[in-house]
Structure 1
Amino acid sequence: MTAPTPSPSARPDVERLRGYSAPLEGRRGLLRLDFNENTIGPSPAVVEALRAFPADQIAVYPEYDGLREAVIGNLQDSPAGLAHALLPQQVGLFNGVDAAIHAVIHAYGASGDTLLTTSPTFGYYAPCAGMQGMVVEAVPHELPGFRFPLEAMRAALQRGPKILMLCNPNNPTGTRLSAEHVLLLASSAPDTLVVVDELYEAFTGDSVLPHVDFAEHANLLVLRSLAKTAGLAGLRMGFAIGSAEVVDRVCRVSGPYDVNSFAVTAAFAALSDQAYTDHYVAEVLRARNYLVTELTRSGAVFHVDGGNYLLVWPRFSAQQVEQQLRDAGILVRSMAGKPQIDGSLRVSIGTQEQMQRFWECYRKLER
Structure 2
Amino acid sequence: MSEIENLLREDLRGQTPYGAPQLDVPVQLNTNENAFAIPEDVAAVLAEFIGRELRGLNRYPDRDAVALRRDLAAYLGHGLTADHVWAANGSNEILQQLLQAFGGPGRTVLGFMPSYSMHPLLARGTGTAFTDAGREDGYTLSPAYVRDAITAHDPDLVFLVSPNNPTGTALDAEVVEAAYEAARGIVVIDEAYAEFARDPASTALGRLAGRKRLVVTRTLSKAFAFAGARVGYLAADPELVEKLLLVRLPYHLSSLTQAAARGALACAPQLQAEVDELKHQRDRIVKNLRAKGLPVADSDANFVLVGGLADAAAVWRAVLDRGVLIRDVGLPGRLRITAGTEEETTALLDAFDAAMTDSPQHFATPAEPNEESK
Name the TM-score, length of structure 2 as normaliser. 0.85
**Match 1:139 to one of 133, 136, 146:** 133
Match of 1:14 among 6, 12, 15: 12
SS in 2 for 1:136: strand
CA displacement at 1:222 relative to structure 2 = 0.9
What count of residue pairs does the alignment treat as equivalent? Answer: 347
Q: Displacement of 1:65 after TM fit?
A: 4.2
Asked whether 1:162 is paired with 2:166, we answer no
Task: Confirm whether residue 311 of structure 1 aligns to residue 305 of structure 2.
Answer: yes
Query: Which AA in structure 1 matches 2:112?
Result: T
Structure 1 pair 59–332 and aligned structure 2 pair: CA distance change class (3 A): farther
Asked whether the equivalents of residues 309 and 334 of structure 2 are also in contact (C-alpha less than 8 Å), the reply is: no
Q: Tell me if structure 2 keeps the 8 A contact 1:19–1:127.
A: no
Partner of 1:276: 270
1:107 alignment partner, one of 101, 109, 114? 101
SS of 2:227 mapped into structure 1 = coil
- What corresponds to 1:69 in structure 2? 70
Name the CA shift for 1:316/1:14 in 2 (closer, same or farther; >3 Å): closer
> Does the alignment pair 1:208 with 2:204?
yes
Deviation readout 1:64-92 (Å, 9 max, x if unpaired) = 3421111111112xxxxx1xx22312211
Q: Please tell me the root mean square deviation across aligned C-alpha atoms, in Å.
A: 2.3
Equivalent residue for 1:323, pick from 317, 320, 325 = 317
TM-score, normalising length from structure 1?
Answer: 0.87
Q: 1:238 Cα deviation (Å)?
A: 0.5
Q: Distance in 2 between matches of 1:168 and 1:161?
A: 20
Alignment of structure 1 residues 1-367 onto 2, 5 Å? 9-15=7-13, 18-27=15-24, 30-52=26-48, 53-54=50-51, 55-63=54-62, 64-76=65-77, 82=78, 85-143=79-137, 145-158=138-151, 159-189=153-183, 191-204=184-197, 205=200, 206-213=202-209, 216-313=210-307, 315=309, 317-336=311-330, 341-367=331-357
Contact 1:316-1:366 within 8 A present in 2 as well:
no
Matches of 1:62 and 1:46, distance apart in 2: 23
Contact (CA 8 Å) 1:199, 1:223: kept in 2 or not? yes
State the Cα distance separating 1:320 from its structure 2 match.
Answer: 2.4
C-alpha deviation, 1:93, in angstroms = 1.1
Q: Distance in 2 between matches of 1:49 and 1:260?
A: 18
More helix by share: 2
Q: 1:178 to 1:302 in 2, by over 3 A?
A: closer
Note if contact 2:231-2:261 (Cα within 8 Å) is conserved in structure 1.
yes
Task: Give how far 1:333 is off.
Answer: 0.4
Residue by residue over 1:240-264, the C-alpha shift from the partner in whole angstroms, topping out at 9 and shown as x without a partner, is 2101121122232121222223322
**Contact 2:66–2:82 (CA<8 Å) still a contact in 1?**
no
Determine if contact 1:13/1:131 at 8 Å carries over to the other structure.
Answer: no
TM-aligned CA distance change 1:323 to 1:261, over 3 Å: farther
Aligned in 2, Cα 1:192/1:6: closer, same or farther, shift over 3 Å? Answer: closer
Distance 1:312 1:172 in 2: 10
- Letter of the structure 2 residue corresponding to residue 99 of structure 1: E
Q: Deviations over 1:258-298 (max 9, x none)?
A: 22233222211221222224422111111122222211222
- Going from structure 1 to structure 2, the CA distance change for 1:8 and 1:50 (only over 3 Å counts) comes to farther
What's the CA shift for 1:154?
A: 0.6
Distance in 1, matches of 2:4 and 2:215, equals 42
Supply the distance in 1 between the matched residues of 2:291 and 2:253 (Cα, whole angstroms).
46
Deviation at 1:180, TM superposition (A): 3.9
Q: Counterpart of 1:97 in structure 2: which amino acid?
A: S
SS of corresponding position for 1:303: coil
Distance 1:257 1:327, change over 3 A: farther
Q: Counterparts of 1:19 and 1:6 in 2: how far apart (Å)?
A: 15
Distance 1:75 1:7 in 2: 45
Judged with a 3 Å threshold, the aligned counterparts in structure 2 of structure 1 residues 253 and 19 are, in CA distance, closer, same or farther, namely farther
1:15 and 1:361 mapped to 2: Cα distance? 40
CA separation of 1:286/1:31 partners in 2, compared to 1, >3 Å: closer, same or farther? same
Partners of 1:5 and 1:197 in 2: CA distance: 39
**Tell me, what secondary structure is at the counterpart of 2:98?**
helix
Q: Percent identity, aligned pairs only? A: 26
